[in-house]
Structure formats: C-alpha cells, structure tokens
C-alpha cells in the first residue's frame, strides 16, 4: 500500500466552502455505549473526555454524535427516543459531551440516527399506506426537531436532518421542504442529510441544505483479492459523479460516514454488518488499505470538505459494542493510516503560504 500522503499533498489547494480560514473536516463519529449496565462510560463522562484527548492528538478537529431513536419494524409509525437511555437523561449526557468537545477545540455535528429493533435496514422503511406515512412523518418530525433544538441550545456547529431515508427521500417534497424550514428556524448551524452512497442522485432537497452528505460505504471492487490499485480505481470511479453534482448544485460534499470493517475483502460488500458475521478472520491490513484507497481518491478534490470516520465509541477501549473485526479503527493499523491522513494537506484546506510545507505540524 503506498503512503497515503503521496496522494493527498497539493501545492495550491482551493478552499471548497466559502471561508478561506476554515480547515477541512477531519472528523470522527463517536457512538454511544448502548448498554444500561455501563452508565458511567457513555457520552459526557470521564471516559468520553479521555477519548476526545486521543482524537485531538491524532489530528481530528470535528466529532459527530449519534443519538438514536428506535422503531419496532420497517412498517412501524412511532419513533421512540429511549434507545440508549431515556431522552432527558440522554440529552443531558450529550450536552456534557459537547462541552467536553468545545473545551478541546473540537467542532460538533449532531446526527439523530434511527435503529430498527427487528430485522431490516432503515432505508427500507415503509408504513404501507398514505395514513401510515402521515403518522410516521409526524413522529419523525418530532424526533428530529427535538434534537435540532437541543443542537442549537448546546452550540453544535452542524446537524444532519436524517440518515439513509432512501425509501422516502425522493418523495414527499412538500414535507421535506417544510421540515427543513422549521429546522432552520430553530438551528443556525450547517445543515446536511446523510444519504446512502447509492441514494444521492434521488434526494429531492439538496438545494435546501448547506452540504451534500454521503454515507460513503462504497464497494471498491466486485471480486475478492482485489489489489490496492484496483481499490483506488474503484474509489475514483465511484466518487466521480459527486464532483459533477457538487458543481451542478454549487454545494460541497461531506462524507458523513466512511469506514470499512477489519476482515478480508472488506471493500467488496462493505455494508455487511459485523454483528451478523461468524468465524471471521481479523485483517487489519485490509481495513487500512480500503480506508486509504477511498480517501486517497477523494480528499484531493476541492469539492469534498472532509469526512467522519465510522466509528469510535465514547469509551475508547470498550469491547462490548462490536466485534474486533468491526468498523472501529482503534488500536489497529487503520488508526495509523487515519492519523497520517489527518496531518497532511487536503484539497479543501486553506491555501498555505509559499514557505509552508504541506506537512507542517505533522
């Protein structure tokens, strides 16, 4: 695998999002500890403070926080706000966590997420009737608006209005328009939407937002044992349409989530969830080269303002949230690659002075 820095250093990068002093987003998604038995290890605890210290040392400048709502099935119409903890308890913990991030100079994106209790992917939600959709959308609006108000109260810098709503982000235009207007009335930061990588072209409301958000779990090859060069070519081909969309909308792109699991051929079907796997061979090299390939292809572009790696947990050493072959880069070769990437010049970074090296501060 070639050094990532070789693909990411440029003499005259152009800032992609309007503020010549604003650095690109070097972000990490921080997941909650989803266990009532570990209340002292979630958001806003001494454990999350230690995590943030490590992320700053690595070179991160943003975090994203993912409070979850939950629905019973893909046909359910009610979103409950007690996945990790009761809503009031959860919001208090997140408020403390944002304070911890601010104290360390980190900016914050709040991303209300959605968990389906029974089988199925949130992108396939379908209540099955006009009346069912009305009920679901009312519940969804309440869910998102609650967190948008909290995001404003706590000083978050960005907010995602949804995550992988593939079954309905291309419909119900009046609903989305009105909800985005309502969110803007209570939240003054950057707005995005976390579209699935194969959903981007069908989203109706990009022009109402500030950033084109992509959950960039791209397949980089369609066969096992692909080479790094094949991964890199696959990544370049996959992201090429995003550049055109950015130009068409005059709006930058953000990888709201990007990552690969720690197993052989991780970039062939990267959406396979780690919890469903058994007898997996752990392959740190594969995770590292998949992350390296997609970011080497993407980060030189002016239209990409950065990414959030998926994901770390609020207790950095916790082993209960996912298997060792999961997405977390912590303690693996991918973490070294990520640190290198955080500390080189990207296309969306401010232009450096002529005497400054692209690796100053590395």
Residue-range domains of the chain with CATH: 5-342 (3.20.20.80)
DSSP code string of 252-279: -EEEEEE---SSTTTTTSTTS-GGG--S
Model pLDDT for residues 169-198, shown as the tens digit of each residue: 999 999 999 999 999 999 999 999 999 999
Cα 270 to Cα 11, 211, 219, distances in angstroms: 33, 24, 6
CA atoms within 13 A of residue 179's CA, in its CB half-sphere: 24
Task: Decide if 67 contacts 24 (C-beta within 8 A).
Answer: no
Bond prior to 197 in cis (omega within 30° of 0): no
CA atoms of 246 and 252, how far apart (whole Å): 6
CA atoms of 103 and 52, how far apart (whole Å): 10
The pTM (predicted TM-score) of the whole model is 0.92
pLDDT recorded at residue 360: 45
SS3 107: strand
pLDDT recorded at residue 18: 59
Model pLDDT for residues 202-258, shown as the tens digit of each residue: 999 999 999 999 999 999 999 999 999 999 999 999 999 999 999 999 999 999 999
Model pLDDT for residues 131-162, shown as the tens digit of each residue: 999 999 999 999 999 999 999 999 999 999 99
Report the chain's mean pLDDT, rounded to a whole number. Answer: 90
pLDDT band (50, 70, 90) for residue 278 = confident
pLDDT of 272 > 90? The answer is no
Task: Decide if 74 contacts 124 (C-beta within 8 A).
Answer: yes
pLDDT of 10 > 70? The answer is no
Model pLDDT for residues 286-331, shown as the tens digit of each residue: 999 999 999 999 999 999 999 999 999 999 888 888 889 999 999 9
CA atoms of 209 and 161, how far apart (whole Å): 9
CA atoms of 180 and 171, how far apart (whole Å): 14
Model pLDDT for residues 47-103, shown as the tens digit of each residue: 999 999 999 999 999 999 999 999 999 999 999 998 878 899 999 999 999 999 999
Bond prior to 311 in cis (omega within 30° of 0): yes
């Amino acid at each position: 695998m070639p050094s990532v820095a070789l693909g990411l250093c440029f003499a005259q990068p152009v800032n992609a999002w309007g503020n010549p002093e604003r650095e690109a987003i070097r972000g990490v998604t921080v997941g909650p500890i989803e266990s009532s038995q570990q209340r002292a290890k979630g958001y806003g605890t001494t454990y999350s403070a230690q995590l943030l210290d490590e992320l700053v040392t690595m070179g991160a400048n943003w975090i994203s926080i993912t409070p979850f709502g939950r629905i019973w099935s893909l046909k359910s119409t009610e979103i409950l706000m007690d996945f990790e903890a009761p809503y009031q308890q959860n919001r208090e913990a997140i408020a403390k966590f944002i304070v911890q991030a601010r104290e360390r100079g980190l900016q914050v994106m709040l991303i209300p997420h959605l968990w389906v209790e029974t089988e199925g992917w949130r992108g396939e939600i379908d209540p099955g009737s006009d009346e069912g959709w009305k009920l679901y959308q009312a519940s969804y609006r309440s869910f998102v608006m609650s967190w948008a108000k909290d995001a404003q109260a706590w000083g978050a810098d960005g907010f995602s209005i949804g995550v992988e709503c593939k079954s309905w982000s291309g419909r119900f235009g009046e609903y989305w328009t009105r909800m985005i207007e309502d969110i803007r009335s209570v939240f003054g930061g950057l707005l995005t939407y976390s579209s699935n990588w194969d959903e981007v072209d069908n989203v109706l409301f990009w022009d109402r937002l500030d950033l084109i958000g992509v959950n960039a779990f791209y397949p980089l090859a369609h066969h096992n044992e692909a080479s790094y060069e094949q991964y890199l070519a696959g990544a370049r081909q996959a992201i090429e349409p995003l550049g055109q969309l950015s130009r068409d909308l005059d709006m930058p792109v953000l990888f709201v989530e990007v990552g690969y699991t720690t197993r052989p051929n991780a970039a062939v079907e990267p959406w396979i969830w780690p919890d469903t796997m058994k007898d997996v061979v752990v392959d740190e090299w594969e995770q590292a080269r998949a992350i390296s390939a997609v970011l080497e292809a993407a980060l030189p572009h002016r239209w990409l303002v950065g990414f959030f790696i998926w994901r770390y947990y609020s207790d950095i050493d916790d082993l209960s949230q996912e298997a060792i072959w999961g997405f977390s880069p912590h303690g693996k070769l991918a973490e070294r690659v990520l640190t290198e990437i955080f500390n080189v010049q990207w296309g969306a970074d401010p232009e450096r002075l002529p005497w400054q090296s692209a690796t100053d501060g590395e």
